[in-house]
Amino acid sequence: MNQFIGSRALPDLVYHRPGTMDDLLGLVKGIEGEYRVVAGCTDFIPAIRGGKWRFADGINVVDIRGVKALSGIREEKGEIVMGAATRLSDILVSPVIREKAPVLADAVSQMASPQVRNTATVGGNLCMASPAADTAPPLLVLDAKVAWRTADGEETTPLNKFFLGPGATVLPPRSVLTEIRFPAPGPDEAARRTRMGQRTAFVCSIISVAVWLRGGPEKIEAARIAMGAVAPTPILITAAESVLIGKKPNEATLAEAAKTAASNIAPIDDLRATADYRKSLAETLTRRLLAACVGDLA
């Protein structure tokens, strides 16, 4: 039981700052005792201060910001590739993202505060596996994959399969998330996202929604809808896709898709919002985003 309600001291840390990928992977492979990989510390420090995380003295902190290869955004072979330690603010100003995936920049622009965005990373946001992780819904609708490495090899999985629950991912022990990649959207695709918080800025989302459509004003060929903060993990809601695919995107179709999406989530009541409100928002926001995407396609 937490007796002390004040701000907790950080434990004694063993601080590691490897400079290369090989050093990093070798270090993580051989490290003894408890360790944490950190990229921005914007979740690590508050979690300790608030008593959510408790570590014994001697916890190893592996700071991956020294590994240059883990940062940066590039386009290769029709895919956009982001290093896991790419800062959120770098996503915001990236010409590639702004041109090819403005939906991601839009999501990032509303995350936390400018100072946090100048520190936190996209990989950190995903690895923390918060149900409300705001980079997740746009990346999910962009069909992103994530890659991680261990000293022994590399694996890739769709982001959709990455999250296991609040704070839990499929990342195996002694691995490091390295990349997030997604296909560069084509001209017949449109993606939009939005979120709601209890205030406009500097706040955790009570729901975030992203939608993606391919097709034209006459027919939707493919669709994806993803949400955050409505389930134990950020999720793709595939149930609504069939409502849209092959249809003409009129008001009724979009409304039905939104309704289907909202009825396929199981949000909880918490301090920030009730389940009912989240469901209500899920429908409203999805419908509005779909309509906006249809507008973009036209």
Q: How far apart are CA 47 and CA 12, in angstroms?
A: 15
Q: At closest approach, how far in Å is the CB of 33 from another protein? A: 10
Closest to 171 measured CA to CA, from 204, 199, 147: 147
Q: At closest approach, how far in Å is the CB of 45 from another protein? A: 5
Beta-carbon count within 10 A of 53 CB: 17
Q: Between 207 and 240, name the residue whose CB sits nearer to another protein.
A: 207
Q: Between 152 and 271, name the residue whose CB sits nearer to another protein.
A: 271
Q: At closest approach, how far in Å is the CB of 155 from another protein? A: 25
Distances (CA, A) of 62 to 2, 8, 109, 130, 199: 27, 21, 27, 21, 34
Q: At closest approach, how far in Å is the CB of 91 from another protein? A: 15
Which residues would be at the binding site for another protein (CB under 8 A)? 1-19, 23, 27, 40-42, 45-46, 49-50, 57-59, 61, 63, 65-66, 89, 109, 112-116, 118-119, 196, 198-204, 271, 273-274, 276-277, 280-281, 284-285
Amino acid letter, residue 80: I
Q: Between 51 and 232, name the residue whose CB sits nearer to another protein.
A: 51
Q: Between 78 and 200, name the residue whose CB sits nearer to another protein.
A: 200
Q: Between 42 and 169, name the residue whose CB sits nearer to another protein.
A: 42
Q: At closest approach, how far in Å is the CB of 236 from another protein? A: 23
Q: Which residues of 217-240 are buried (b: 16+ CB within 10 A; e: fewer)?
A: eeebeebbbbbbbbbbbbbbbeeb
Q: How far apart are CA 176 and CA 75, in angstroms?
A: 22
Q: Between 46 and 295, name the residue whose CB sits nearer to another protein.
A: 46
> Is 100 in contact with 184 (CB distance < 8 Å)?
yes
**Residue 8: DSSP 8-state:** P
The structure tokens 């590039």 sit at: 74
Q: At closest approach, how far in Å is the CB of 17 from another protein? A: 5
- Measured in whole angstroms, the distance separating CA 184 from the mean position of its chain's CA atoms is 17
